[in-house]
Chains A and B, each alone.
Chain A
Amino acid sequence: MTQTDFTTAIFDPARPVPAGLTDAAGRPAGKRFSVYRNNVAVSLKEALETGFPATARLLGEANFETLAQRYLRARPPQSPLMMLFGEGFADYIAAIPALKSLGYLPDVARLEYAMRQSYHAGDAAPLDPAKLAALPPEALNRARLSFAPAVRLVLSDWPIHAIRQKALEPDAPNPPGTAQPVLITRPNYDPVPHPLAPEQAVLIAALMDGATLSRALTQAPRADLGAVLSLLLAQSALTDIDVETPK
């Protein structure tokens, strides 16, 4: 018997217990093999629930259990780092026809995965606001921002910030009828989600992409640059600012 035989039987309870596995008296292992089946199914489902608590609540216990058991068989973790388990969970959810009515669910899962990655991201010294303040206004236009490794931006057409909050805390306000892209910052050790106006999200996406401030503003002309910069500075989301040399 190989570990492939063992693994196949672990993931498919309909398969017989592999031959050659016994109890002390040499009888077939039977239920003893189920201990391993159960350990794998439960530990991976719990690992998924740890990373996606709001997604799990939105689905309800029974539905999440069914989805988790399908997911962990279709896409078993490819790394022993459970903090990475579920990287493709949002896309997996999005491809399930029966979940199409919960259109926001993939984006909520994306937000949860981004929150977890932010938690484990590298540390970085924040930008000294004096460096930004010292720039003359014309230089500011040509400036590019460097973002802290823990910063994430999750774009969505759904109010995913409020949906997640409501799933985790039933007393939270009801979700609005508008889109809520989310910026995640980590000013200390706890990731903080900030709901954004779509225009702000476009601006931040361009800045994170390496655009100069003026280029980013052309993509999001109605965004309030001052407000966005204040938020990024206050949240220690920036690590540096570089001014492009004029051509």
Chain B
Amino acid sequence: MFDQPNTLPAAPGVGYKPQHYSDILADAGPVRWLEIHAENYMGDGGRPIAQLRFLADRFPISVHGVGLSIGGETPLDPSHLARLKYLCDWLNPASFSEHLAWSTHDSGFLNDLLPLPYTNATLARVCSHIDQVQETLGRRMLLENPSSYLAFAESTYDEPAFLAEVSKRTGCGLLLDVNNIFVSATNLNYDPRAYVDAFPLDQVGEIHLGGHDEDEDDHGAPLLIDSHGREVADPVWTLLDYVLEKSGPRPTLIEWDTDVPDWATLALEAARAEAALDKVPA
């Protein structure tokens, strides 16, 4: 649909944290590309922008938005969309992605990825917002599956069918967060492999992996929290193998956003992703 001037390699990447800047430049290990949160690079200048310019000369960059509120009932914030366009225009990233979620309401920005009912009304709204984003940026975007803690009684689509329909209608690609599948499948009591089987894997331009915390709901059932604050759990690695067998190698990102570890620890996680990618034929 749109020209992609460069693309992410089907190799490990990590979510970039400024404290790893020198380590990455000294020895990136298995890490071949970096992902940034768009909103952290929307200032006018200073160190964040200077570091990003320097890194972008050396690594493919994925811009991952966390504030666009694609699923919001309110119109997309035109000034935020303009900032995003400015960033994508000067940086020319290998990928831009956002979430199937909402975060902005008339009263303000809630700084969390909030859930959506999968209905025809949501579908129409999300598709219209994605059309607007892709037209404004002049590039194809990827939409990420959320982690869910609850269900909506009014939903009429399951999540893979909903995302497949969004992709079909808008031409957007998908970002498959394998930890989110595992978290949602545990929390909502379904089979994560069945989710993968139903997912339009040919549209997947990127995979995410992150750590989760364990809790319990009011009835003592497991309630997993998508915290991005620790190593990727073993069953998530197993589920990644299942995905990659079906999809082939894809750009695969380690997300570690809270209690950020030292570079060696993060690089070990990336090495584990590399081993998983190496197991499947290209």
Do A and B interact with each other, yes or no?
Answer: yes
Given known A-B contacts A30-B218, A80-B39, A80-B80, A40 and B188 have beta carbons under 8 A apart = no
B58 → chain A closest CB, angstroms = 19
B contact residues, range: 35 or more
Q: How far is the CB of B65 from chain A (nearest CB, A)?
A: 9
> Which residues on the B side are within 8 Å of A149 (C-beta)?
44-45
- Report the separation of the CA atoms of residues A3 and B71 in the bound assembly, to the nearest whole angstrom: 10
**How far, in whole Å, are A30 and B219 apart by their CA atoms in the complex?**
10
In the complex, whether A222 has a CB less than 8 A from a CB of chain B is no
Please determine whether B153 and A4 come into contact, CB atoms closer than 8 angstroms: no
A residues near B2, Cβ cutoff 8 Å? none
**Residues of B contacting A39 in the complex (Cβ-Cβ under 8 angstroms):** 112
Question: Is B219's CB under 8 angstroms from A26's CB?
Answer: no
A26's nearest neighbour on chain B, judged by CB, is B153
> Which chain B residues lie closer than 8 Å to A47 at the CB level?
111
Considering only CB atoms, which chain A residue lies closest to B38 in the complex?
Answer: A80
The stretch of B88-96, B100-108, B132-140, B163-171 that contacts the partner chain: B100-108
B5 at the A/B interface (Cβ < 8 Å)? no
On chain B, the residues within 8 Å of A36 by CB distance are 112, 114-115, 149
Neighbouring A residues of B189 by C-beta, 8 Å: 24-25
Using a CB-CB cutoff of 8 Å, which residues 59-87 of chain B contact chain A?
Answer: 66-69, 72-74, 77, 80, 83
A11 contacts across to B, CB distance below 8 A: 107
What is the CB-to-nearest-CB distance from B129 to chain A, in angstroms, rounded to a whole number? 14
User: Is A120 a contact partner of B190 (Cβ separation < 8 A)?
Assistant: no
**C-alpha gap A11/B221 in the complex (Å):** 26
B50/A79 in contact, CB under 8 A: no
Q: How far is the CB of B131 from chain A (nearest CB, A)?
A: 20
Report how many residues on chain A are interfacial, defined by Cβ distance under 8 Å: 47
Interface hub of A30, A80, A81 (most chain B Cβ within 10 A): A80
Q: Is A58 an interface residue (CB 8 A)?
A: no
Task: Give B110's nearest chain A residue, CB to CB.
Answer: A40
What 0/1 readout, one digit per residue, does chain B (105-124) give for beta carbons within 8 Å of chain A? 11111111011010000000
Whether B47 and A119, one on each chain, are in contact in the complex, defined by CB atoms closer than 8 angstroms, is yes
Give every chain B residue within 8 A of A31 (Cβ-Cβ): 217-218, 223
- Select one of B109, B149, B153 contacting A35, CB under 8 A: B149
A residues within 8 A CB of B110?
Answer: 7, 10, 40, 44, 76
Contacts of A102 in B (CB 8 A): none
**What are 16 residue pairs bridging A and B, where the CB atoms are less than 8 Å apart in the complex?**
A6-B114, A20-B117, A24-B151, A33-B150, A36-B149, A40-B111, A76-B107, A77-B108, A77-B111, A79-B109, A83-B42, A120-B43, A122-B44, A122-B45, A189-B46, A189-B50
User: Which residue numbers of A lie inside 8 Å of B, CB to CB?
Assistant: 1-4, 6-7, 10-11, 20-27, 29-33, 35-36, 39-40, 43-44, 47, 75-83, 119-123, 149-150, 186, 189-190
